[in-house]
Amino acid sequence: MELIKVGEKTYYIKNPTNIGIYKIDEENIYIIDSGNDKEAGRKILKIINEQGWKIAGIINTHSNADHIGGNKFIQDRTNCMIYGHGIENSFTTFPILESAFLYGGYPLRDLQNKFLMAKESNVTEIDGNLPEGLSYFNIKGHFFDMIGIKTSDNVYFLGDSLFSAETISKYHLFYIYNVKEYLNTLDELEKLEGALYIPSHCEATDNIQSLIAINRNKIQEISDRIVSYCEKEMTFEEIFKAIFDDYNLSLNVEQYVLIGSTIRSYLSYLYDEGKIKYEFIDNRMIWKKVC
């Protein structure tokens, strides 16, 4: 982990999940997200303590385990407040909701791990609770009520609203809960005028326009593929297999629930857009292209 200063009051810790830091005075700070587990929390706290700072609060952009995994460790050690927004707070308070939601039922034990199920922490609604110099904005799509954070240094922390070109080139598919909202968020991100943008899993940059285009183009590509599959009338499982085969990807149980949920979200989006339809034949849900 590396501490990087990017503004008068704004820093971030470079990490697989980038951690934002904002100084509200010479002693107290807020952090944005907390990493994927207690070890990440321990390392974050060590860096903070080395600077002589105290954590006044944690802001979670959303409730996925790799963003709230350090919450409990840090909260237990510092008694700090944790802030989140909307439905995300329920997932943070009751982490089993994430693996249960993705699986669509009680999650088998292989899904009850730190990658999908963080330790529970006490979270408070962010509305009306941010210090001067910080504001939040909605960036829905990746998850239910995900938010971004803007600092007084005109630095934007963007959560999982954008994925890197390297990730998209390698894996093609990335988790999306609501495809239409994700596309709407990309449209809104294009309008931002910031000094620096820090997505959670990308390098910090002063220009996100090309990254927005890469994310949007891949969503369109996947949408077009799914519609083309439905020319032959396919079940969800057949569509799922076809897209993994076409991209030469291999499944494991975590990818099965994460990307399986994503493919269902694409089907919902394309159905709502009038591009595909479904029918029940021989007790199977069959997806068809709308002619």
Which residue carries 């709407």 as its tokens? Answer: 184
Q: What is the pLDDT of residue 289?
A: 98
pLDDT per residue over 31-53, tens digit each? 999 999 999 999 999 999 999 99
Q: What is the pLDDT of residue 162?
A: 98
For range 59-72, the mean pLDDT:
98
pLDDT per residue over 254-275, tens digit each? 999 999 999 999 999 999 999 9
Q: What is the pLDDT of residue 126?
A: 98
| pTM tops 0.95, yes or no | yes
Are 31 and 21 in contact, with CB atoms under 8 Å apart?
yes
Rounded percentage of the chain residues whose pLDDT exceeds 90: 99
Domains and CATH numbers, the chain: 2-209 (3.60.15.10), 220-289 (1.10.10.10)
Angle (deg, nearest 10), helices 38-50 and 71-78: 50
Q: What is the pLDDT of residue 82?
A: 98
Give one DSSP letter per residue of 221-267, joined into a string.
Answer: HHHHHHHHHGGG-B-HHHHHHHHHHHTT----HHHHHHHHHHHHHHH
Are 69 and 37 in contact, with CB atoms under 8 Å apart?
yes
Q: What is the pLDDT of residue 174?
A: 96
Q: How far apart are the C-alpha atoms of 81 and 91, rounded to whole Å? A: 16
Q: What is the pLDDT of residue 22?
A: 98
Six-digit token string for 47:
């860096």
Please report how many Cα atoms fall inside a 13 Å half-sphere around the Cα of residue 141, on the Cβ side.
25
Q: How confident is the model at residue 137 (pLDDT cuts 50, 70, 90)?
A: very high
Which residue carries 């008068």 as its tokens? Answer: 8
Q: What is the pLDDT of residue 247?
A: 97
